[in-house]
Amino acid sequence: MAADLSGKTAVVTGAASGIGKEIALELAKAGAAVAIADLNQDGANAVADEINKAGGKAIGVAMDVTNEEAVNTGIDKVAEAFGSVDILVSNAGIQIVNPIENYSFADWKKMQAIHVDGAFLTTKAALKHMYKDDRGGVVIYMGSVHSHEASPLKSAYVTAKHGLLGLARVLA
């Protein structure tokens, strides 16, 4: 990462493992203080420890992105710990593959809740801090090829990614 993010604070959801973890590690290398937000508190703490041991600044934050109270509490905890929220990476997500006729409504709602509701809730909570003192900030949603193209076994995922694209356009 070429940018110098010293003095900036980033929140990365779904960052206890996978793509989210790698994003968090790169943000830390660029100088940002990083909040590792995840359902998996132990995993979030482990990633934060890895960053701290490498000389960065990080905390683990327990966060269910589908729960407004948990999101608000988590984002406020980050602002209290680091003084601001400058970057939000809404990365939390899941994948459930089934043809529409076999897709349960519960799985459909779960997919939308994590991807779309989670992005909305974390954005809403982060903007409160980004707008404070006219600081501004950056919001990044994890889209995919499915933000633009369909896939026969991924109806809920494609719908969620289209929703994220719409949310990004509104926010911009």
Could you list the active site residues? 157
Q: Which neighbouring-strand residues pair with 89? A: 12, 140
- Cα 25 to Cα 54: distance, rounded to the nearest angstrom: 10
State the chain's maximal CA–CA distance in angstroms: 51
- Are 98 and 107 in contact by the 8 Å Cβ rule? The answer is yes
